[in-house]
Structure 1
Amino acid sequence: MKQKLVLLSASLIGLTLFGTVATAQLQRNVELKDGEGHEHKMMEIPDGQPIPTVDLIVHRDALKGWNLELKVTNFAFAPEKVNQSSNFKEGHAHLYVNGKKITRLYGNWYYLDRLEPGRNEIKVSLNANGHETFIHRGKAIEDVAIVEVR
Structure 2
Amino acid sequence: MKVAKQLAILAVAIAVLAGAYLLSPLAGPPAPLLSSATAYAMPGTPGAVMVAIQIENRGGPDRLVAVRSDAAQSAAIVGGTAPEGLPIPAGSTPSLSADGAHVELSGIDGALDEGRMLPLTLVFETAGEVSTRARISTPAPGDHAAHGMDNKLDLGPVEVAPKVVMDLRPDGEGWIITLDSGAFKLTAQGVDGQNVPGQGHAHLYLGGLKLQRMYGTTAHVGALPKGQHILRVVLNSHDHRALYAGGEPVGAIALIDVR
TM-score normalised by structure 1 residue count: 0.71
Q: Which residue of 1 aligns with 2:3?
A: none
Distance apart, 1:56 and its partner CA: 1.0
Structure 2 gap segments, 5+ residues each: 1-97, 103-144
Q: Which residue of 1 aligns with 2:166?
A: 56
Seq. identity, %: 25
Alignment of 1:111-122 (within 5 A): 111-122=220-231
* 8 Å CA contact retained: 1:88, 1:134: no
**Corresponding residue SS for 1:82:** coil
Give a deviation string over 1:39-68, Cα, whole Å, max 9, x none: 241101156x9421211111111x231000
2:216 and 2:237 map into 1 onto residues whose CA distance is: 14
* 8 Å CA contact retained: 1:98, 1:122: yes
AA aligned to 1:77 is L
AA aligned to 2:174 is G
**Corresponding residue SS for 2:189:** helix
Alignment of 1:69-108 (within 5 A): 69-108=178-217
Give a deviation string over 1:18-53, Cα, whole Å, max 9, x none: xxxxxxxxxxxxxx6322453241101156x94212
Distance apart, 1:130 and its partner CA: 1.0
2:202 and 2:250 map into 1 onto residues whose CA distance is: 10
AA aligned to 2:165 is D
Q: Which residue of 1 aligns with 2:18?
A: none
Q: Which residue of 2 aligns with 1:38?
A: 146
Give a deviation string over 1:52-95, Cα, whole Å, max 9, x none: 1211111111x231000101112001202111101331100000
Indicate the structure with greater strand content: 1
2:246 and 2:196 map into 1 onto residues whose CA distance is: 17
1:122 and 1:103 map into 2 onto residues whose CA distance is: 12
AA aligned to 1:39 is H
Indicate the structure with greater helix content: 2
**Corresponding residue SS for 2:224:** coil
Q: Which residue of 2 aligns with 1:3?
A: none
Question: Would the alpha carbon gap of residues 69 and 33 (structure 1) be closer, same or farther in structure 2, given more than 3 Å must change?
Answer: same
2:152 and 2:255 map into 1 onto residues whose CA distance is: 24
RMSD: 2.0
Q: Relative contact order, CA 8 A, sep 6+: which one is greater?
A: 1
Q: Which residue of 2 aligns with 1:133?
A: 242
2:187 and 2:220 map into 1 onto residues whose CA distance is: 19
Instruction: State the 4+ residue runs in structure 1 displaced beyond 6 angstroms.
Output: none
| Worse overlay, 36-45 or 88-97 | 36-45
Structure number with bigger Rg: 2
